[in-house]
Amino acid sequence: MDLLTTTETADYLRLGERKLYELVAENKIPCSKVTGKWLFPRHELDRWVLSGLARPEGMIPPEPPPIVGGSQDDLLEWSLRQAGSGLASLTEGTGSGVARLLRGEVAAAAIHFHNEAAEPNVDAVRAMPRLHDAVLIGFARREQGLLLPPGNPRSLNSLVDVLESGAKMAVRQAGAGAHMLLNVLVARAGASQKELNRLEPPCLTGPDLAAAIRTGRADCGIATRAAARGAGLEFVSLAWENFDLLMRQRTYFQPSIQALVRFLAQDSFARRAEELTGYDTSSAGQIRFVN
Protein backbone atom coordinates (compact mmCIF):
# COMPACT_ATOMS: atom_id res chain seq x y z
CA MET A 1 0.00 0.00 0.00
CA ASP A 2 1.32 3.45 -0.95
CA LEU A 3 1.15 5.61 2.18
CA LEU A 4 1.77 9.36 2.17
CA THR A 5 2.95 11.47 5.07
CA THR A 6 1.10 14.58 6.22
CA THR A 7 3.37 16.86 4.18
CA GLU A 8 3.10 14.68 1.07
CA THR A 9 -0.69 14.50 1.42
CA ALA A 10 -1.05 18.26 1.78
CA ASP A 11 1.00 18.73 -1.40
CA TYR A 12 -0.90 15.96 -3.21
CA LEU A 13 -4.29 17.52 -2.40
CA ARG A 14 -3.07 21.14 -2.58
CA LEU A 15 -4.25 21.75 0.95
CA GLY A 16 -2.54 23.62 3.73
CA GLU A 17 -1.35 21.29 6.49
CA ARG A 18 -3.54 23.13 9.02
CA LYS A 19 -6.64 22.39 6.92
CA LEU A 20 -5.54 18.78 6.54
CA TYR A 21 -5.32 18.37 10.31
CA GLU A 22 -8.82 19.85 10.62
CA LEU A 23 -10.13 17.18 8.22
CA VAL A 24 -8.36 14.49 10.23
CA ALA A 25 -9.87 15.78 13.48
CA GLU A 26 -13.33 15.81 11.91
CA ASN A 27 -12.82 12.27 10.55
CA LYS A 28 -13.51 13.52 7.01
CA ILE A 29 -10.45 12.11 5.25
CA PRO A 30 -9.11 8.53 5.02
CA CYS A 31 -6.08 8.09 7.26
CA SER A 32 -4.56 6.02 10.06
CA LYS A 33 -2.13 6.69 12.87
CA VAL A 34 0.99 4.53 13.00
CA THR A 35 3.68 4.99 15.68
CA GLY A 36 2.35 8.46 16.40
CA LYS A 37 2.29 9.65 12.78
CA TRP A 38 -0.68 10.17 10.50
CA LEU A 39 -0.44 8.22 7.24
CA PHE A 40 -2.75 8.52 4.25
CA PRO A 41 -3.31 5.69 1.71
CA ARG A 42 -3.01 7.31 -1.71
CA HIS A 43 -5.55 5.07 -3.46
CA GLU A 44 -8.12 5.99 -0.78
CA LEU A 45 -7.33 9.68 -1.24
CA ASP A 46 -7.94 9.28 -4.98
CA ARG A 47 -11.35 7.76 -4.29
CA TRP A 48 -12.08 10.58 -1.84
CA VAL A 49 -11.24 13.16 -4.48
CA LEU A 50 -13.25 11.46 -7.21
CA SER A 51 -16.26 11.04 -4.93
CA GLY A 52 -16.69 14.81 -4.86
CA LEU A 53 -15.79 15.10 -1.19
CA ALA A 54 -12.47 16.76 -1.94
CA ARG A 55 -13.53 20.37 -2.11
CA PRO A 56 -13.91 21.38 1.53
CA GLU A 57 -13.93 25.01 2.47
CA GLY A 58 -10.43 26.42 2.48
CA MET A 59 -9.04 24.02 -0.11
CA ILE A 60 -6.75 25.58 -2.73
CA PRO A 61 -8.64 25.60 -6.07
CA PRO A 62 -7.88 22.16 -7.55
CA GLU A 63 -8.46 23.15 -11.16
CA PRO A 64 -5.37 24.71 -12.76
CA PRO A 65 -5.92 27.28 -15.51
CA PRO A 66 -6.52 25.78 -18.99
CA ILE A 67 -2.97 26.36 -20.21
CA VAL A 68 -0.37 24.00 -21.63
CA GLY A 69 3.07 25.25 -20.64
CA GLY A 70 6.51 23.97 -21.49
CA SER A 71 8.08 23.41 -24.87
CA GLN A 72 6.94 25.07 -28.09
CA ASP A 73 5.70 22.84 -30.88
CA ASP A 74 3.83 23.76 -34.06
CA LEU A 75 1.83 20.53 -34.17
CA LEU A 76 0.78 20.91 -30.53
CA GLU A 77 -0.34 24.51 -30.96
CA TRP A 78 -2.34 23.56 -34.06
CA SER A 79 -3.91 20.62 -32.19
CA LEU A 80 -5.00 22.75 -29.24
CA ARG A 81 -6.96 24.93 -31.67
CA GLN A 82 -8.34 22.18 -33.90
CA ALA A 83 -9.45 20.01 -30.99
CA GLY A 84 -11.65 22.79 -29.63
CA SER A 85 -10.04 22.10 -26.27
CA GLY A 86 -10.09 25.67 -24.99
CA LEU A 87 -6.48 25.19 -23.91
CA ALA A 88 -4.02 28.02 -24.43
CA SER A 89 -0.25 27.62 -24.70
CA LEU A 90 2.57 29.26 -22.77
CA THR A 91 5.89 28.27 -24.34
CA GLU A 92 8.93 28.84 -22.13
CA GLY A 93 10.80 25.55 -22.46
CA THR A 94 10.56 22.19 -20.71
CA GLY A 95 12.06 23.23 -17.37
CA SER A 96 9.91 26.34 -16.98
CA GLY A 97 6.80 24.38 -17.93
CA VAL A 98 7.42 21.80 -15.22
CA ALA A 99 8.03 24.55 -12.66
CA ARG A 100 4.69 26.15 -13.54
CA LEU A 101 2.94 22.78 -13.32
CA LEU A 102 4.29 22.24 -9.82
CA ARG A 103 3.00 25.68 -8.81
CA GLY A 104 -0.45 24.92 -10.24
CA GLU A 105 -0.13 27.63 -12.91
CA VAL A 106 -0.71 25.37 -15.92
CA ALA A 107 -2.81 22.27 -16.53
CA ALA A 108 -0.04 20.42 -18.36
CA ALA A 109 3.55 20.83 -19.46
CA ALA A 110 4.91 19.76 -22.85
CA ILE A 111 8.28 18.18 -22.16
CA HIS A 112 11.25 16.62 -23.95
CA PHE A 113 14.03 15.87 -21.49
CA HIS A 114 17.40 14.58 -22.64
CA ASN A 115 19.86 12.52 -20.62
CA GLU A 116 21.52 9.13 -20.99
CA ALA A 117 18.48 7.17 -19.71
CA ALA A 118 16.54 4.90 -22.06
CA GLU A 119 13.38 6.94 -21.36
CA PRO A 120 14.53 10.47 -20.42
CA ASN A 121 11.03 11.90 -19.85
CA VAL A 122 9.97 9.01 -17.63
CA ASP A 123 13.28 9.11 -15.78
CA ALA A 124 12.94 12.85 -15.12
CA VAL A 125 9.31 12.65 -13.98
CA ARG A 126 9.95 9.71 -11.69
CA ALA A 127 12.64 11.77 -9.94
CA MET A 128 10.35 14.75 -9.23
CA PRO A 129 9.62 14.55 -5.47
CA ARG A 130 6.68 16.99 -5.54
CA LEU A 131 4.78 15.18 -8.28
CA HIS A 132 3.28 12.15 -6.57
CA ASP A 133 0.32 11.92 -8.97
CA ALA A 134 1.96 12.36 -12.37
CA VAL A 135 0.65 11.00 -15.64
CA LEU A 136 2.62 11.27 -18.87
CA ILE A 137 0.65 11.30 -22.14
CA GLY A 138 2.42 10.62 -25.42
CA PHE A 139 1.99 13.36 -28.01
CA ALA A 140 4.50 12.41 -30.69
CA ARG A 141 8.09 11.49 -31.38
CA ARG A 142 9.99 14.36 -32.95
CA GLU A 143 13.14 14.60 -35.04
CA GLN A 144 15.75 17.04 -33.75
CA GLY A 145 18.80 18.16 -35.68
CA LEU A 146 21.00 20.94 -37.00
CA LEU A 147 19.23 23.82 -38.73
CA LEU A 148 21.39 25.34 -41.47
CA PRO A 149 21.11 28.06 -44.12
CA PRO A 150 19.92 26.96 -47.58
CA GLY A 151 22.65 25.08 -49.39
CA ASN A 152 24.59 24.48 -46.13
CA PRO A 153 27.37 26.90 -47.19
CA ARG A 154 29.76 25.88 -44.39
CA SER A 155 29.26 22.12 -45.00
CA LEU A 156 28.23 21.42 -41.42
CA ASN A 157 27.04 17.82 -41.16
CA SER A 158 27.59 17.08 -37.46
CA LEU A 159 28.18 18.74 -34.13
CA VAL A 160 31.87 17.91 -34.49
CA ASP A 161 31.90 20.00 -37.69
CA VAL A 162 30.34 22.88 -35.76
CA LEU A 163 32.96 22.65 -33.00
CA GLU A 164 35.92 22.35 -35.36
CA SER A 165 34.81 25.13 -37.72
CA GLY A 166 34.00 27.72 -35.05
CA ALA A 167 30.60 28.29 -36.68
CA LYS A 168 28.29 30.68 -34.85
CA MET A 169 25.66 28.54 -33.12
CA ALA A 170 22.27 29.74 -31.97
CA VAL A 171 21.36 28.03 -28.69
CA ARG A 172 18.32 27.70 -26.46
CA GLN A 173 18.02 28.83 -22.85
CA ALA A 174 19.03 26.57 -19.96
CA GLY A 175 16.16 24.23 -19.08
CA ALA A 176 14.91 23.95 -22.66
CA GLY A 177 14.86 20.43 -24.08
CA ALA A 178 17.03 21.42 -27.05
CA HIS A 179 19.62 22.83 -24.62
CA MET A 180 19.61 19.50 -22.74
CA LEU A 181 20.10 17.66 -26.05
CA LEU A 182 23.00 19.94 -26.92
CA ASN A 183 24.61 19.17 -23.55
CA VAL A 184 24.33 15.43 -24.22
CA LEU A 185 25.72 15.69 -27.75
CA VAL A 186 28.61 17.96 -26.75
CA ALA A 187 29.57 15.57 -23.94
CA ARG A 188 29.50 12.63 -26.35
CA ALA A 189 31.86 14.58 -28.61
CA GLY A 190 34.28 14.91 -25.69
CA ALA A 191 33.86 18.68 -25.56
CA SER A 192 32.08 21.32 -23.47
CA GLN A 193 29.65 24.08 -24.33
CA LYS A 194 32.38 26.62 -23.56
CA GLU A 195 34.03 25.52 -26.81
CA LEU A 196 30.99 26.57 -28.85
CA ASN A 197 30.88 29.92 -30.61
CA ARG A 198 27.47 30.79 -29.16
CA LEU A 199 25.05 33.43 -30.31
CA GLU A 200 23.87 35.53 -27.37
CA PRO A 201 21.33 35.92 -25.94
CA PRO A 202 19.79 32.43 -26.17
CA CYS A 203 16.72 31.91 -28.34
CA LEU A 204 13.54 31.27 -26.34
CA THR A 205 11.80 29.00 -28.90
CA GLY A 206 12.65 26.83 -31.88
CA PRO A 207 11.11 29.34 -34.34
CA ASP A 208 13.22 32.11 -32.74
CA LEU A 209 16.32 29.99 -33.32
CA ALA A 210 15.30 29.32 -36.93
CA ALA A 211 14.84 33.05 -37.50
CA ALA A 212 18.36 33.74 -36.19
CA ILE A 213 19.77 31.39 -38.82
CA ARG A 214 17.51 32.61 -41.62
CA THR A 215 18.56 36.22 -41.03
CA GLY A 216 22.28 35.36 -40.90
CA ARG A 217 22.89 36.07 -37.23
CA ALA A 218 23.91 32.43 -36.70
CA ASP A 219 25.29 29.64 -38.88
CA CYS A 220 23.42 26.78 -37.21
CA GLY A 221 21.38 25.64 -34.20
CA ILE A 222 19.43 22.67 -32.87
CA ALA A 223 15.66 22.48 -33.34
CA THR A 224 13.05 20.23 -34.93
CA ARG A 225 12.76 19.25 -38.57
CA ALA A 226 9.36 20.97 -38.59
CA ALA A 227 10.98 24.24 -37.47
CA ALA A 228 13.55 23.92 -40.28
CA ARG A 229 10.86 23.28 -42.87
CA GLY A 230 8.75 26.19 -41.67
CA ALA A 231 11.72 28.56 -42.04
CA GLY A 232 12.97 27.15 -45.35
CA LEU A 233 16.24 25.90 -43.82
CA GLU A 234 18.43 22.85 -44.37
CA PHE A 235 18.24 20.09 -41.76
CA VAL A 236 20.72 17.45 -40.59
CA SER A 237 19.09 14.85 -38.32
CA LEU A 238 20.73 14.25 -34.92
CA ALA A 239 18.16 12.45 -32.75
CA TRP A 240 14.54 11.37 -32.28
CA GLU A 241 12.87 12.23 -28.98
CA ASN A 242 9.65 11.60 -27.10
CA PHE A 243 7.56 14.76 -26.85
CA ASP A 244 5.04 14.19 -24.04
CA LEU A 245 2.41 16.01 -22.02
CA LEU A 246 2.93 15.92 -18.25
CA MET A 247 0.03 16.59 -15.88
CA ARG A 248 -1.48 15.52 -12.59
CA GLN A 249 -3.78 12.50 -12.70
CA ARG A 250 -6.87 14.52 -11.78
CA THR A 251 -6.18 16.93 -14.63
CA TYR A 252 -6.22 14.10 -17.16
CA PHE A 253 -9.99 13.76 -16.69
CA GLN A 254 -10.75 17.44 -17.31
CA PRO A 255 -12.94 17.96 -20.42
CA SER A 256 -10.31 20.16 -22.06
CA ILE A 257 -7.61 17.48 -21.80
CA GLN A 258 -9.98 14.73 -22.86
CA ALA A 259 -10.97 16.76 -25.94
CA LEU A 260 -7.30 16.99 -26.89
CA VAL A 261 -6.65 13.28 -26.26
CA ARG A 262 -9.62 12.32 -28.44
CA PHE A 263 -8.37 14.58 -31.21
CA LEU A 264 -4.96 12.88 -31.21
CA ALA A 265 -6.64 9.69 -32.45
CA GLN A 266 -8.15 11.39 -35.51
CA ASP A 267 -6.78 11.04 -39.04
CA SER A 268 -6.52 14.80 -39.39
CA PHE A 269 -3.91 14.88 -36.62
CA ALA A 270 -1.73 12.30 -38.36
CA ARG A 271 -2.11 14.08 -41.69
CA ARG A 272 -1.05 17.41 -40.22
CA ALA A 273 1.99 15.77 -38.60
CA GLU A 274 2.98 14.36 -41.98
CA GLU A 275 2.61 17.77 -43.60
CA LEU A 276 4.84 19.43 -41.00
CA THR A 277 7.40 16.57 -41.28
CA GLY A 278 9.63 15.10 -38.60
CA TYR A 279 6.92 13.47 -36.48
CA ASP A 280 5.97 9.92 -35.56
CA THR A 281 2.44 9.94 -34.07
CA SER A 282 2.15 6.22 -33.29
CA SER A 283 2.18 6.91 -29.52
CA ALA A 284 -0.19 9.90 -29.63
CA GLY A 285 -2.70 9.87 -26.75
CA GLN A 286 -1.18 6.86 -25.02
CA ILE A 287 -0.51 6.90 -21.28
CA ARG A 288 3.24 6.35 -21.15
CA PHE A 289 3.79 6.63 -17.41
CA VAL A 290 1.73 6.92 -14.22
CA ASN A 291 3.38 7.76 -10.92
Average model confidence (pLDDT) across the chain: 92
Count of domains in the chain?
A: 2
Domain holding 32, by residue range, is 3-53
Residues 21 and 148 in one domain: no
Q: Identify the DSSP state of 145.
A: E
The closest of 224, 175, 168 to 197, measured between CA atoms, is 168
Q: pLDDT confidence of 144, banded at 50, 70, 90?
A: very high
Residues 31 and 109 in one domain: no
What are the backbone angles phi and psi of residue 150, rounded to the nearest 5°?
A: -55, 135
Q: Give tens-digit pLDDT for 148-181.
A: 999 999 999 999 999 999 999 999 999 999 999 9
Q: Identify the DSSP state of 75.
A: H
Decide if 265 is inside a domain: no
Decide if 32 is inside a domain: yes
Is pLDDT of 212 > 90? yes
CA distance 270 to 241: 17
CATH number, domain at 195?
Answer: 3.40.190.10
